[in-house]
Structure 1
Amino acid sequence: MLKQVEDGVAVVACTTCRHSADARDDAEGQRGGARLASALKAVQASDPAYADVAVQEMPCLFACQDFCTIHLRAPAKVGYVLGRFEPSEDAARAILDYAKLYGESAFGQVPFKQWPQGVKGHFITRTPPAGFVVE
């Protein structure tokens, strides 16, 4: 079943992702994806700089080889799946910092020199927007 959400720059967090490569849940029995989604929402709510980036949740992005996974998307922009994050405020801030730059870019391509350190090494896939491919 699909649930309609606002169309714009969005970080979609997988709420069912593993906590880490070795553990499904954390010490309190919560999934890492749920923790990361909560951290993303908390960081977004604490800083108006992230007002133009929606934080959305869904169960399972099918990136199960990688834990704490998000999908970054926007209309007519290249999308990205990133993963292997710690479900922390620092990771959430790095994701939102990148998402802000992504939203400001013309086609979703942010120059590497602008990437926050916290997202480097976390990219899994790049997806073209509907009706386009990357040149």
Structure 2
Amino acid sequence: MQLKTVENRPAIVACNSCRFTADDREDGDGRRGGARLAAALHAVKASDPAYGDVAVQEMPCLFACTEFCTVHLRAPGKVGYVLGRFTPDEDAARAILDYAALYADSDVGQVPFKQWPAGVKGHFITRTPPEGFVVE
């Protein structure tokens, strides 16, 4: 394993090797769900300047293998989140980016539930404390 330096800013880290669904590794064309979701995230981000404050980054395997199509949302000094069980398409990518934009604007990574896009509700797997902190 080698580490690659990326910008340390609000980011969606997409697992590009995730399963397509709970039952299938790949779609009918042989593409992994994670690769499809990462491509959708890049395309949606490029289509709308409202997502300019959020980076889309990729890496193989977030080790959330009991789930599928997972992403890690992170930013310096903020609580992070791992979300999954997405359909790897534009609608899911837009919901993730909409949430990520709200997250980037938040003080510590907490977005009020009433502001959550419907497309991310039910997709949270875990939250992670920022380096050097825990949540009270």
d(CA) in 2 for partners of 1:134 and 1:116? 24
Deviation at residue 63 of structure 1 after TM alignment:
0.0
Q: 4+ residue runs of structure 1 moved beyond 4 angstroms? A: none
Identity between Structure 1 and Structure 2 (%): 76
Alignment deviations for residues 55-97 of structure 1 (CA, whole Å, 9 cap, x no partner)? 0000000000000000000000000000000000000000000
| 1:74 maps to amino acid | A
Count of residues in correspondence between the two structures:
135
| 2:127 maps to amino acid | R
Unaligned 5+ runs, structure 2: none
SS in 2 for 1:13: strand
Alignment deviations for residues 82-125 of structure 1 (CA, whole Å, 9 cap, x no partner)? 00000000000000000000000000000000000000000000
TM-score (norm 1): 1.00
Alignment of 1:80-95 (within 5 A): 80-95=81-96
TM-score (norm 2): 0.99
Aligned to 1:97: 98
CA RMSD of aligned residues (A): 0.3
Alignment of 1:1-135 (within 5 A): 1-135=2-136
d(CA) in 2 for partners of 1:56 and 1:118? 20
d(CA) in 2 for partners of 1:76 and 1:9? 10
Unaligned 5+ runs, structure 1: none
SS in 1 for 2:30: coil
d(CA) in 2 for partners of 1:29 and 1:80? 29
d(CA) in 2 for partners of 1:12 and 1:134? 22
